[in-house]
Amino acid sequence: MATNLQKFDLETYEPDDVYAAANSQVSGLTKEQVKERQNQYGVNILRETKKEPVALVFIRNFTSLMAILLWVGGAVAMLSQSLALGIAIWFVNIVNGVFSFIQEYRASQATEALKKMLPSYARVIRDGQEEKVLAQDLVPGDVVLIEEGDKISADGRIVFATDFQVNQSALTGESNPVYKNNQADTDTNKTSLEYDNMVFAGTSVSSGSAKIVVSAIGMTTQFGQIASLTQSMADEKSPLQKELDHLTKQISAIAITVGIFFFLAATFIVKESVAQAFIFALGMIVAFIPEGLLPTVTLSLAMAVQRMAKENALVKKLSSVETLGATSVICSDKTGTLTQNAMTVNHLWQVSDSYNVSGLGYSNEGDIRKSDGKKVSLADNESLEHLVRFAHLCSNAQVLPPDGDHPNYTVLGDPTEACLNVLAEKAGLSLDKNHAWAPRLKELPFDSVRKRMTTVHSLETPVDKSNYISITKGAPKEIAELCRFYKDQNGIHGMNDQVFNQILAANDQFAQDGLRVLAIAYRTVQEESDQWTQEVLENQMIFLGLVAMSDPPRQGVREAVEKCHQASIRIIMVTGDYGLTALSIAKKIGIVRGDDARVISGLELESLSDTQLKEALKGEVVFARVAPEQKYRVVTALQELGEVVAVTGDGVNDAPALKKADIGVAMGITGTDVAKESADMILTDDNFTSIVHAIEEGRAVYQNIKKFLTYIFNSNTPEAVPSAFFLFSKGWVPLPLTVMQILAVDLGTDMIPALGLGVEPPAPGVMNHPPRKLTDRLLNKGLLMKAFLWYGIIESILAMGAFFLTYWINQGNLSHLIASGSLYREATTMTLGAIVFCQIGMVMNSRAGDHSIRQFKIFGNRLINIGLITELIIFLALVYLPIFHGLFNTAALGLWHWIYLILCPFVMIGLDELRKKLMK
């Protein structure tokens, strides 16, 4: 759609002139202008790197090593006068290719759909109003607001900036943040990237905030101009897929070796013709090659990813699904993830008095009462009035009442701040009037390292004889340390140790009840704004009081925590909040169960050696008042202890830990773009419970693939054993299972039930055992022994038993087995039938794994049900439709045959139940 790839050169203009230079204005573009420009310049997206054309993907499925092997085999079969077999093998190859293609296509569609669920947004000013639009709808001239943690989605000229730093590593490779400003730069000899007043698409904001005017979008941006772009959704193969890739090759090699062995044995032991021997060998190869294995596994991973998305966990790479299943430790932050992040102020505390605040949630119904129950009015309590008033002035949040579209209160901004607005209303203040009384002139934003924020205001009526004050709110101990005075009902007094300790004791008391506590302090300031530095403002302050708020645990979190305990997954709370609050919540929701859990503060963490930290991590521990950067150390130490670590995060500073973790989990609602980009998984509901769901899915997928492998491998033995009988009896036993019959099982009856195993829902017991080790192989000796030796041998005995029994019943002895005619066909049909019916029992055994089949609903998996019905239909067709009799060497069966066949699945299940009982 882009008809004109124009961009604006805005570097040289004075900030105020930039708008006009971009045909825009301070109030932003109008709706009409936006529409016009969208038509003119197109959408703000980067043309995707060329994808492999679908036709090529399709063809690739017919040119793999295995496929080529089958093409050649089929051709040779046709040339050696086995036209039917040749055609059958080619047919198999075509069916297999189409099938693999469909699986691969569906898997890629599933991951494509996921990409669309992660749209990128931008905050723009249009028609004088701030709004949130899709980043792809930005046009040149748009006025955009960006702040810490945002991903920048277009190139732009900065018109306003505060302490603004950008990480341009995506463009320049330089990982240190770069300071940017809004100053005009008249030097025209620079390259675009060298201008300090420009920001570029694809980079992100490290700190501060800015307003920009978009100069270029889409392919005209600096990012768009550099060639081949990596796509955010990595297509790399997961370790599991790589393992299977390798495995398929290995198995193919084994199949070819077995084939050669059977070829030589047929030629030299049975003295078959070379052509006959070749066809025979070919049958064995086809029997052993696990056609469609890789695409089926890929599909089952992709399906899991889709199911996780419905459960609010967006996984960015298929490989994460496996890692999730192996997760042994979750490092989770508290606010919003374990708790609701729905704050309600319950108590206020001042040095001279304390108060209770009534009411629930964000509704402004409620009031402030003294501990004796008497309602208080701000009018006769100046220090309390200042506490409530200033707390509100230092809030950036807004609370919107319920309306038609939103049945609940909507919080814009930080809930910790929103509840301060509600508090002010309960105290009878008008929020608008309060703002008008003290307009804000400056803000030192909250950051999780300082753990406080400060605002500067001019005042309508002076406070402490000053027309300017600054207000600071934040972590109580840290704030109290910066206060030189305190204010109570009797006025302002000098801070002393006794009062200081009183503040800490009150804070601890609230924290022990799981409340989150903020301290509010203020100071008078000079009119000159160059004096308003952090060093000045956050110093020598006057302590006003504490605001204690409750944040109830999220629904379902206790149950999810319990599930983790059962699954031997440890949860370690790593929070910025106060130790006692953290510990109290950790106990409430069951993360901490003992009485001697250790609380390690960020400060203490700094002083611990790596060995000490590791020692501490072995016991029950809660990390409190930690800075995001310190999460990295905790994750590293856990990984060195051999744990597979999932870690949550939302801020810019969480990025290193998110990247370092085996599974980085970013918050979808409160998370910054930077955190989301660094993470492997994004929680669209910020909820801890969703992590546990995802782990459950991860475990289930891994188990399903194991079930699926056991199922398809176990029929290999009964397919090979009949041929071995034929060969080693030197032809005395006629071939009990023909090549066409082997194909009928592998690519006919087995196909859909196998797929059904790949999509089994998580079994009831998946969270009842410890996590798998990442080093555990999918196809281990245990699985192979179970498939080939245990199930394989029982199935072989039943199949060969059926074959001999047919002769014995008809002839009364086994001294001479006729190798042709109706009796022979009846006998081979029974070998085939026994395998098909044993596989019915095997679907159930595979579903149950190492548990009794009694614990799940026998017909609870729709795809398997369909598979079983198809399996029966195929078998009935082979047995009763005469057109198949010649090709598949089959014949109609009688009553006793059917009784034998129907017993087969019960024998398979019964013996396996016995094994499970004995193993227990």
Interface residues with ligand ATP (CB under 6 A) are 333-336, 414, 416-417, 446, 448, 451-453, 473-475, 518, 575-578
Nearest approach, Cβ of residue 502 and ligand ATP (Å)? 19
Distance of alpha carbon 37 from alpha carbon 498, whole angstroms? 66
State both tokens at 803: 């074959």
Main-chain dihedrals φ then ψ at residue 11, nearest 5 degrees: -65, -35
Nearest approach, Cβ of residue 199 and ligand ATP (Å)? 26
96 in Cβ contact with 292 (< 8 Å): yes
* Residue 248 vs 344, nearer CB to ligand ATP: 344
* Residue 137 vs 478, nearer CB to ligand ATP: 478
Main-chain dihedrals φ then ψ at residue 246, nearest 5 degrees: -60, -45
Which residue is associated with the tokens 């501490």? 616
Distance of alpha carbon 362 from alpha carbon 347, whole angstroms? 15
566 in Cβ contact with 767 (< 8 Å): yes
* Residue 42 vs 336, nearer CB to ligand ATP: 336
Could you tell me which of 881, 863, 883 has the C-alpha nearest to residue 873? 881
* Residue 475 vs 836, nearer CB to ligand ATP: 475
Distance of alpha carbon 299 from alpha carbon 110, whole angstroms? 9
CB atoms within 10 A of CB 159: 22
Main-chain dihedrals φ then ψ at residue 16, nearest 5 degrees: -70, -20
Nearest approach, Cβ of residue 475 and ligand ATP (Å)? 4
Q: Please state whether beta strands 329-332 and 570-573 pair in parallel, antiparallel, or not at all (unpaired).
A: parallel
Radius of gyration over every alpha carbon of the chain, rounded to an integer in angstroms? 36
625 to 336, 735, 906: CA distances (angstroms): 16, 75, 61
Q: What SS3 state is found at 316?
A: coil
* Residue 427 vs 480, nearer CB to ligand ATP: 480
664 in Cβ contact with 674 (< 8 Å): no
Burial of 629 (0-12, 13-18, 19+ CB in 10 A): middle
Nearest approach, Cβ of residue 591 and ligand ATP (Å)? 12
Main-chain dihedrals φ then ψ at residue 377, nearest 5 degrees: -115, 140
Q: Please state whether beta strands 483-488 and 353-357 pair in parallel, antiparallel, or not at all (unpaired).
A: unpaired
Identity at 48, one-letter amino acid code = E
568 in Cβ contact with 770 (< 8 Å): yes
* Residue 438 vs 521, nearer CB to ligand ATP: 521
DSSP secondary structure letter of residue 44: S
DSSP secondary structure letter of residue 335: T
Residues forming beta bridges with residue 543, ordered by sequence position? 486, 521
Distance of alpha carbon 132 from alpha carbon 122, whole angstroms? 6
* Residue 629 vs 913, nearer CB to ligand ATP: 629
Nearest approach, Cβ of residue 331 and ligand ATP (Å)? 11
Nearest approach, Cβ of residue 539 and ligand ATP (Å)? 17
Nearest approach, Cβ of residue 710 and ligand ATP (Å)? 43
Nearest approach, Cβ of residue 602 and ligand ATP (Å)? 10
Nearest approach, Cβ of residue 623 and ligand ATP (Å)? 9
Burial of 783 (0-12, 13-18, 19+ CB in 10 A): middle
Nearest approach, Cβ of residue 335 and ligand ATP (Å)? 3
State in Å, rounded, how far the first CA of the chain is from the last one: 66
* Residue 416 vs 889, nearer CB to ligand ATP: 416
* Residue 62 vs 446, nearer CB to ligand ATP: 446
Could you tell me which of 569, 916, 920 has the C-alpha nearest to residue 772? 569
Active site residue 333: yes
471 in Cβ contact with 482 (< 8 Å): no
Closest chain position to ligand ATP (CB): 576
Which residue is associated with the tokens 């980079």? 203
Exactly one of 333, 488, 680, 686 is catalytic; name it: 333
* Residue 74 vs 579, nearer CB to ligand ATP: 579
State both tokens at 25: 């204005």
521 in Cβ contact with 387 (< 8 Å): no
Nearest approach, Cβ of residue 667 and ligand ATP (Å)? 9
State both tokens at 45: 């997206």
Residues forming beta bridges with residue 687, ordered by sequence position? none
* Residue 265 vs 503, nearer CB to ligand ATP: 503
* Residue 199 vs 519, nearer CB to ligand ATP: 519
901 to 164, 500, 621, 737: CA distances (angstroms): 77, 85, 59, 16
Nearest approach, Cβ of residue 444 and ligand ATP (Å)? 11
* Residue 241 vs 448, nearer CB to ligand ATP: 448
Identity at 379, one-letter amino acid code = A
Burial 566-602, CB ≥16 within 10 A → b, else e: ebebbbbbbbbbbbbbbbbbbbbbbbbeeeebebbbb
Nearest approach, Cβ of residue 417 and ligand ATP (Å)? 5
Could you tell me which of 633, 639, 625, 670 has the C-alpha nearest to residue 652? 670
Identity at 689, one-letter amino acid code = T
* C-alpha angle 826-830-834 in degrees, rounded to nearest 5: 175
HSE on the CB side for 477, CA within 13 Å? 13
Identity at 609, one-letter amino acid code = S
Catalytic machinery residues: 333
